Structure 1
Amino acid sequence: MAHKAFIRPLLTALAASLLALNVQAAPLVVGYQTGVDPSKVPQADGAYEKAIGEKIDWRRFNSGPEVVTALASGDVQIGNLGSSPLAAAASRKLPIVAFIVSAQINSAEALVVRNGSGINNPQELVGKTIATPFVSTSHYSLLAALKQWGLEGKVKVVNLQPLQIAAAWKRGDIDGAFVWSPALGEIRKTGKVLTDAAEVGRWGAPTFEVWVARKDYAEKHPEVVAKFAKVTLDSFADYAANKAKWTADSEQVKKIAKLTGSNAEDVPDLLAGSEYADAQTQRSATLLSGGTVDAVAKTAAFLKEQGKVETVLSDYSPYVSDKYIQ
């Protein structure tokens, strides 16, 4: 009995030690989407892992709201999402912080109408079926465009993820879609662009993509978040300096195409469809030191007006930080 009494606590202690070791060894989980941007190159190359010095479990998601759900559950520590899902999540006081603006969206998201749909101008959208992933940046842009055209409540807007949009388009189930790549590249081949995020932005509803981290993770591992931001910024700098070389047959574009499921021929145009701010611009009043907070607040107010969020916060600054940009 004495022998068993000694062994039992020893085994318990050993099990506890192994459990602690497993917890410590758990990899960083990063949620990414299929949007085309320069940071997909270091992702494909393993540069993030090399810079951070640990394994990363990359998980692919269809849209920002899916990333938000994973962040909320704790399944993901760092995630990529758009300004609309960010505004919705922050309005629900989800403990996340945006630490880098990964893309200022222009033509990389667009409203495309199908050839043969009979739509040649915005007013001909009345009664038509337009698809978009709900509470995404594309959804926000679509709602803003319909408001600009005086078509609120006159168009059937349906909730489909990008892959579903591509399939529904081929079947002829939808008349148009506001979406991003790779679906955008596919539907543009048999459709025409009616408007895009750049034009909607000029109307007063700009959209952008961000990398966010769970606040508890960022507070415990600020160096990891900072290194993640630096690798991202280095990819932006490489693209800015060598844009002309990122052609359809370049290694960079091939890597992006493989990772996102896009056609390599579409990637250069899709890359050019967004702006990628350098470190100085990231930390400026235009973005993380003021402008991003204002944009999130305006987005939240619009989403509330559209009935997509219940409340709007008086201050969104706790959900945006420039301190991780070196």
Structure 2
Amino acid sequence: MRKASFTRTLFTALALTGLTLSVQAANLTIGYQTGVDPSKVPQADGTYEKTTGEKIDWRRFNSGPEVITAIASGDVQIGDLGSSPLAAAASRKLPIVTFLVVAQINAAEALVVRNGSGITKPEDLIGKTIATPFVSTSHYSLLGALKHWNIDPSKVKVVNLNPAEIAAAWKRGDIDGAFVWSPALGEIRKSGTTLTDAAEVGKWGSPTFEVWVARKDYADKHPEVLEKFAKVTLDSFADYAAHKDAWTADSPQVQKIARLTGSNAADVPELLAGSAYPTAEEQKTLLTSTTAKDIANTAAFLKEQGKVESVLPDYSPYVTAKFVK
């Protein structure tokens, strides 16, 4: 029932694209998630507001599909998405454009199984209850792992829970494992064992990444905002790359990330190291060729799994490098 309800909600939101609401330039609303990355520091510092000159309403969401719903309705103009919900949205022709790759996900998302659940190897997942947010990058990675292990997904009880619900269900003992990101990942690792992570699944042929997208109407009207937004983000990546050893649990940067995401500060340095953050030069390569192909591959896999109805012949209209200077 959860799965059917989720699918109807997502597709209904995407269907609204034909009746999109107008965007008000004076009030920029940005949807973000709790994944740990260096750009959370300028977000906490108000640097995006200072640099863009915009009054920003930051709204926190539990998963990419929730962000998609808000973008489709017109409530959000810029949003943080994973590659799986991005592929689903683009396949439904949601009028968005990817303008920045936030992170190439490695160990920042993982499949953790409960100690004492009896799961010590992949085959033990059969008959167990595993939670993940549906159509998220973690869901995509879970399906990719099951495919690699030749395990029929129908033989595993995969349930749709957002990160906060996963943490609560774990405490109650309702689930045997979960594929998820921080802060829930840090919590369940305390009494669980990592069976695999997004980095390993990526090597098996199902890579995941996170992006910033904008509504196309907003991008067309306010290119200077996206350019400045991209610069602030890339500057934070460069600062982390140059001083990552100084980003310790008690450093100001990590403390700000912990407060903003709800993560334990002690977990943040490891979570930061669990993803790669592309430089400006790397962004140009990703956004001019690689990303569109990766979206297409993700969409094809989702169709194979019955998560999207159809795929597009070309996903390049949903990606641009013109805002990265």
TM class by smaller structure:
over 0.9
- Counterpart amino acid of 1:151? I
- Paired position in structure 2 for 1:147: 147
Kindly state the Cα deviation for residue 110 of structure 1 after the two structures are TM-superposed: 0.2
Name the counterpart of 1:91: 91
In the alignment, residue 324 of structure 2 is paired with which amino acid? I
Identity rate of aligned residues, in percent?
78
C-alpha distance in structure 2 between counterparts of 1:276 and 1:24, whole Å? 31
Q: SS of the counterpart of 1:249?
A: coil
Bigger drift between 145-154 and 275-284 goes to 145-154
The corresponding residue for 1:224 is 225
- CA deviations 1:186-244 (Å, max 9, x no partner) are 00010000000000000000000000000000000000011101000000000000000
**AA in 2 matched with 1:282:** Q
The CA deviation string for residues 244-273 of structure 1, in whole angstroms up to 9 with x for no partner, is: 000000000000000000000000000000
Q: Which residue of 1 aligns with 2:6?
A: none
Runs of 4+ off more than 4 Å: none
Name the CA distance, whole Å, in 2 between partners of 1:288 and 1:190.
Answer: 39
> Structure 1 residue 65 and structure 2 residue 77: aligned?
no
Question: Counterpart of 1:51 in 2: which secondary structure?
Answer: helix
Aligned to 1:270: 271
Partner of residue 163, structure 1: 164
Partner of 1:16: none
SS of residue paired to 1:102: strand
**CA-CA distance at 1:24 after TM superposition:** 5.7
Instruction: Give the match's secondary structure for 1:289.
Output: helix
Q: Deviations over 1:32-76 (max 9, x none)?
A: 000000000000000000100121000000000000000000000
Q: CA separation in 2, counterparts of 1:291 and 1:245?
A: 32
Match of 1:81 in 2: 81
Aligned pairs for 1:1-326 within 5 A? 26-152=26-152, 153-284=154-285, 287-326=286-325
Q: 8 Å contact 2:167–2:188 — kept in the other structure? A: yes
Q: 1:311 offset after TM fit, Å?
A: 0.7
Paired with 1:258 and 1:235, the residues of 2 have a C-alpha distance of 17
Which runs of no fewer than 5 residues in structure 2 stay unpaired? 1-22
CA distance in 2, matches of 1:238, 1:262: 21
Give me the TM-score of the superposition, normalised by structure 1.
Answer: 0.92
Tell me the amino acid that sits aligned with residue 146 of structure 1: L
Distance 1:312 1:25, change over 3 A: closer
**Which SS does the other structure have where 2:230 is aligned?**
helix
CA distance in 1, matches of 2:158, 2:111: 12
Give distance in 2, aligned partners of 1:275 and 1:181: 16
In angstroms, what is the RMSD of aligned CA positions?
A: 0.8
Distance 2:314 2:38 in 1: 31
Q: Number of matched residues?
A: 302
Decide whether the 8 Å contact of 2:26 with 2:54 is kept in 1: no
What does the per-residue CA deviation read over 1:83-113, in whole Å, with 9 as the maximum and x for residues that have no partner? 0000000000000000000000000000000
What CA distance in whole angstroms lies between the structure 2 residues aligned with 1:271 and 1:102?
12
Quick one: distance in 2 between partners of 1:215 and 1:165? 33
Tell me, what secondary structure is at the counterpart of 2:196? strand
Counterpart residue identity of residue 325, structure 1: V
In structure 2, relative to structure 1, the CA distance for the partners of 1:192 and 1:24 (3 Å cut) is closer
Amino acid at match of 1:289: T
SS in 1 for 2:59: strand
Question: CA separation in 1, counterparts of 2:25 and 2:311?
Answer: 39
- Long gaps (5+) in structure 1: 1-22
Shift of 1:26: 3.7
Q: How far, CA to CA, are the matches of 2:191 and 2:25 in structure 1? A: 48
Aligned AA for 2:276?
E
The TM-score normalised by the length of structure 2 is 0.92
Could you tell me how far apart the structure 1 residues matched to 2:86 and 2:124 are?
Answer: 32
Is the alpha carbon distance of 1:290 and 1:173 closer, same or farther for their aligned partners in structure 2, counting shifts above 3 Å?
same
Secondary structure of 2:166's aligned partner: helix
* Structure ID, larger Rg: 1
Q: CA–CA distance in 2 between the matches of 1:325 and 1:294? A: 19
